Amino acid sequence: MGKKNKKKNNDAGEPGAAEQNLSVRDLLRVGPDFQLSAVDPRRIVAGPADKAEARAAAAALEGEVTEWQERLFAESKGGGQRRLLIVLQGMDTSGKGGAAKAIDRISEPIGLRMRSFGPPTREEKRRHFLWRINRALPPVGSIGIFDRSHYEDVLIVRVRNLVPEDIWSGRYDEINDWEKKLTDGGLVFLKCMLHISKEEQQQRLLDRLADPTKHWKYNPGDVDERQLWDQYQEAYQVALTRCSTDYAPWYVIPADRKWHRDWLLSNLVAETLREMNPQYPPTDFDVEVEKARVENS
Ligand code: AMP
Ligand code: MG
């Protein structure tokens, strides 16, 4: 396992990831000079530029990912403290649900914990904003997926002024400290922003309206948030740059093409697990002795 990039060129005629020997994480990681407005949501970053090929390449990661998953779980049975938390953020219709399905397709449902976060309940509002997040963390040895997260507390909360500025402005440091503590305790963050264009969002909203079987996905409130597009982009810009740390970096996934989004995300997951490299715990019995006991039983 673990050959990094064996994928082909992107369609821009630039050297592909393979030639530069870059991982998908290297290509998508948010660094200090990051500008969200400079990321083209339609860009093919690396890998197959063809939908069917990309789907097949992502599906081909299933065997590897499920083995890592089993190892991660086994490691925890031997006392290991590690776990993986995949955080999905993005504007409405950016495909957080579809992205979660893509992860589900390459992993075993057992050991995969999905949680989504809507507006806080009355009880949650009375607590610290990280309270409900802490309760939703995946257990050691497993993989968690957050559909939205504590980042909403510096996104919609900031854009909509849901709490005073002196409160939300302190949350970036709070989030970094909290993520550091969890990382030190063995939790690995994979924070992904699904980046769509304003035009693509409009198309997806219209698609939902055009198809009665998609009406359940349509939320009239999304149009109100859409009117604040620029403020949201600015809030994302700040959150991505202030909270992309060496211990919990952000990755921005161009997400206008669903099949490319899924290919990128699947590779981010595989690369992250490869680096975690979870290990089966050492055997704590004498195999020969046990074999004899079983045979004689
Ligand atoms: P959806 O993901 O479509 O189910 O929508 C969930 C809604 O809940 C989105 O509009 C989020 O912005 C909103 N939301 C999530 N977390 C918070 C939060 N901490 N405070 C306020 N609104 C939130
Ligand atoms: Mg929604």
| pLDDT band, very low/low/confident/very high, at 15 (cuts 50, 70, 90) | very low
SS (H, E, C) the chain: CCCCCCCCCCCCCCCCHHHHCCCHHHHHECCCCCCHHHCCCCCCCCCCCCHHHHHHHHHCCHHHHHHHHHHHHHHHHCCCCCEEEEEEEECCCCCHHHHHHHHHHCCCCCCEEEEECCCCCHHHHHCCCCHHHHHCCCCCCCEEEEECCHHHHHCHHHHCCCCCHHHHCCHHHHHHHHHHHHHHCCEEEEEEEEECCHHHHHHHHHHHHHCHHHHHHCCHHHHHHHCCHHHHHHHHHHHHHHCCCCCCCEEEEECCCHHHHHHHHHHHHHHHHHHHCCCCCCCCCCHHHHHHHHHCC
Residue 9 has pLDDT above 70, yes or no: no
Residue 295 lies in a domain: no
Cα 172 to ligand 1 centroid, rounded to whole Å: 18
Query: Which residue's CA is the closest to the ligand 1 atom numbered 10?
Result: 118
Ligand 1 pocket residue status of 118, Cβ below 6 Å? yes
Residue 38 lies in a domain: yes
Cα 68 to ligand 1 centroid, rounded to whole Å: 32
Q: What is the mean pLDDT of residues 169-188?
A: 98
pLDDT in tens, 94-144: 999 999 999 999 999 888 999 999 999 999 999 999 999 999 999 999 999
Atom nearest to 149 CA in ligand 1: 16
Q: What is the mean pLDDT of residues 210-215?
A: 96
pLDDT at 1: 38
Of 4-8, 95-99, 187-191, the one with minimum mean pLDDT is 4-8
Q: What is the mean pLDDT of residues 79-93?
A: 98
Work out the mean pLDDT of the chain and round it to a whole number: 93
Residue 273 lies in a domain: yes
Per the CB < 8 A criterion, the answer to whether 123 and 64 are in contact is no
Q: What is the mean pLDDT of residues 6-25?
A: 56
- Split into its structural domains, the chain has a count of 1
| pLDDT band, very low/low/confident/very high, at 21 (cuts 50, 70, 90) | low
| pLDDT band, very low/low/confident/very high, at 8 (cuts 50, 70, 90) | very low
Residue 297 lies in a domain: no
Torsion of CA 53, 58, 62, 68, to 10 degrees: 140
Residue 274 lies in a domain: yes
Residue 117 lies in a domain: yes
pLDDT at 20: 59
CATH number for the domain harbouring residue 15: 3.40.50.300
Smallest CA-to-CA distance from 31 within 291, 286, 240 is with 240
pLDDT in tens, 37-61: 999 999 999 999 999 999 999 999 9
More confident residue, 154 or 111: 154
Cα 152 to ligand 1 centroid, rounded to whole Å: 7
Residue 155 lies in a domain: yes
Q: Which among 89, 122, 152 is the best mutation to test ligand 1's pocket, defined by most ligand atoms within 8 Å of the CB?
A: 152
Residue 286 lies in a domain: no
Q: Which residues surround ligand 2, an ion (CB under 5 A)?
A: 92, 219
pLDDT in tens, 236-271: 999 999 999 999 999 999 999 999 999 999 999 999
Cα 35 to ligand 2 centroid, rounded to whole Å: 25
pLDDT at 98: 97
Residue 7 has pLDDT above 60, yes or no: no
Ligand 1 pocket residue status of 156, Cβ below 6 Å? yes
Residue 2 has pLDDT above 50, yes or no: no
Q: Which residues constitute the domain of residue 179? A: 3-281
